[in-house]
Amino acid sequence: MRNFSFHNPTMVQFGKGSISKLTKMLSPKDKILMLYGGGSIKQNGVYQQVLDATADLDIVEFGGIEANPEYSTLMRAVELAREEKISFILAVGGGSVIDGSKFVAAAIPFEGDAWNILNGSTVKTAVPLGCILTLPATGSETNTAAVVNRSEQKLKKAFASPKVQPQFAILDPEVTYSLPTRQLINGVIDPFVHVIEQYLTYPIGASVQDRFAESILINLIEIGKDAIADVDYDKRANLMWNATQALNGLIGAGVPQDWSTHMIGHELTAAYGLDHAATLAIVLPRLMDAKRKNKHAKLLQYAERVWNIDTSDESAAIDQVISKTEDFFRDLGMRTKLSEYDIGEEAADVVKQGLITNGYLKLGEHQDITPDDAARIITASV
Ligand code: NZQ
Ligand code: ZN
């Protein structure tokens, strides 16, 4: 196992009615900016719960953060926050609103062009933030990462900083009852692939991380379909906690990580507007096949421990586990081929150019996946 530092300072308030705990998580001394998305919170009662819990607080609102949050929208929130001298940010939404809020938090005190935050400039300071999660999927609620879209330039870029990790995250599984099926499917697949990207690399003797990763994968396989179909508290609670655990730093500590499926997938979102998880379901099966040599040992471990596949014929077992993974996505109701979105082979060059523009020239745990390799993976995904 490699050396690591692990510190996850986000206070999680989990369970029914936990939005009411917001009152004690916020300070009357702060001027608060509440950020939210396209309005789902006004239909499902979350907005009213937030208003009830913050009635005595000084709070300014900014709505309209898009799915795949747009840089231009976020910069308008930054302007408002500077004018209003905001000292705390409350994000209410899914990964896009939380990511967008993280960017706003870092951009408010940032000197110079805030886009540089996405180009690797160090975030020295940020306005503190907390969040209410409405869509279990990304893990953004208890991690340091954020992804921002700049659609006029067809860019989607990520940054990470401990300065933007939420101080608290409120997770009430009942808020998922209003989620459309499509978003629930995303909510199973995104955390599944988060675990895969931290697990399916090469063995490093990290048995806690491996076993914990495998248990999240098995859980998602076991509960995924029912958690999508049923408006059931326990199923949604388990889905929510799985999604948080998949990307809170724990299973990724001290182990090699991949993230190439994500980086290639981000290019598909930037170019074609596909949902984040939809891109992962397209890329991952082909990437597993393309990297079956490098990932050989872990693919066999994954086959045996997660899918109970007989691995005596190693090559056949790897074929089978790749098919099982794709079938799992399809069985949840997700498409796994670009042609199913009317996207053809031209996407290969689009993705390749996007990776080059963003400077993502060497991806994967061995830094050996080039934009040309990504193009081949995309061609195989049509
Ligand atoms: O905008 P509103 O009205 O809130 O509607 C949203 C949006 O249309 C809706 N929704 C959310 N909660 C709802 C709800 N509808 C009904 N009831 C509810 N309770 O769902 C739609 C999608 O929301 P979005 O936040 O975009 O989805 P998700 O949570 O999947 O976030 C995706 C974004 O997160 C990034 C992705 O790249 C993408 O930009 N990621 C962030 C990561 C991180 N910070 O660690 C890691 C991930 O790998 C990912 O890259
Ligand atoms: Zn993801």
CATH of the domain at 349: 1.20.1090.10
Whether residue 113 is contained in a domain is answered as yes
Whether residue 53 is contained in a domain is answered as yes
Name the closest-CA residue to atom 47, ligand 1: 138
Q: Which atom of ligand 1 is closest in space to residue 96's alpha carbon?
A: 25
Q: Are residues 146 and 204 both part of a single domain?
A: no
Q: What is the CATH number of the domain that holds 53?
A: 3.40.50.1970
Closest by CA to 138, choosing from 265, 3, 285, is 265
Q: Are residues 310 and 224 both part of a single domain?
A: yes
Range of the domain at 271: 181-380
The CA 93 to ligand 1 mean position distance, Å, reads: 7
Q: What pLDDT does residue 95 have?
A: 98
List all residues whose CB is within 6 A of at least one atom of ligand 1. Answer: 37-40, 44, 67-68, 93-97, 99, 134-135, 137-140, 143, 145-147, 175-176, 178-179, 183, 186, 190, 247, 262, 276
Q: Which atom of ligand 1 is closest in space to residue 247's alpha carbon?
A: 45
Whether residue 6 is contained in a domain is answered as no
Over the range 10-46, which residues count as b (16 or more CB within 10 Å of their CB) and which as e? bebbbeeebbebbeebbeeebebbbbbbeebbeebeb
Q: At what angle do helices 346-358 and 371-380 cross, to 10 degrees?
A: 150
Q: Are residues 132 and 225 both part of a single domain?
A: no
Q: Are residues 16 and 137 both part of a single domain?
A: yes
Residue type, 40: S
Measured CA to CA, the distance from residue 318 to residue 314 in angstroms comes to 6
Q: Are residues 135 and 37 both part of a single domain?
A: yes
Q: Are residues 265 and 361 both part of a single domain?
A: yes
Q: Are residues 163 and 68 both part of a single domain?
A: yes
The CA 44 to ligand 1 mean position distance, Å, reads: 16
Q: What pLDDT does residue 154 have?
A: 87
Could you tell me the pTM of the whole model?
A: 0.98
Last residue of a domain, one of 138, 155, 175: 175
Give the list of residues 6+ apart from residue 142 with CB closer than 8 angstroms, or none.
8, 10, 12, 165, 166, 169, 244, 248
Whether residue 165 is contained in a domain is answered as yes
Residues β-bridged to residue 89: 33, 129
Whether residue 5 is contained in a domain is answered as no
Q: Are residues 214 and 344 both part of a single domain?
A: yes
Q: What pLDDT does residue 159 have?
A: 97
Name the closest-CA residue to atom 16, ligand 1: 179
The CA 135 to ligand 1 mean position distance, Å, reads: 6
ipTM over 0.90: yes
Closest by CA to 143, choosing from 102, 175, 104, 176, is 102
How many domains would you assign to the chain?
2
Neighbours of 54 (CB within 10 A): 16
Low-confidence ranges of the chain (pLDDT < 50): none
Give the list of residues 6+ apart from residue 317 with CB closer than 8 angstroms, or none.
299, 300, 303, 304, 309, 310, 311
The CA 203 to ligand 1 mean position distance, Å, reads: 32
Q: Are residues 168 and 191 both part of a single domain?
A: no
Q: Are residues 167 and 218 both part of a single domain?
A: no
Q: Are residues 78 and 133 both part of a single domain?
A: yes
Whether residue 1 is contained in a domain is answered as no
Q: Are residues 158 and 200 both part of a single domain?
A: no
| Ligand nearest to the CA of residue 145, numbered in listed order | 1
| Ligand nearest to the CA of residue 47, numbered in listed order | 1
Last residue of a domain, one of 175, 195, 220: 175
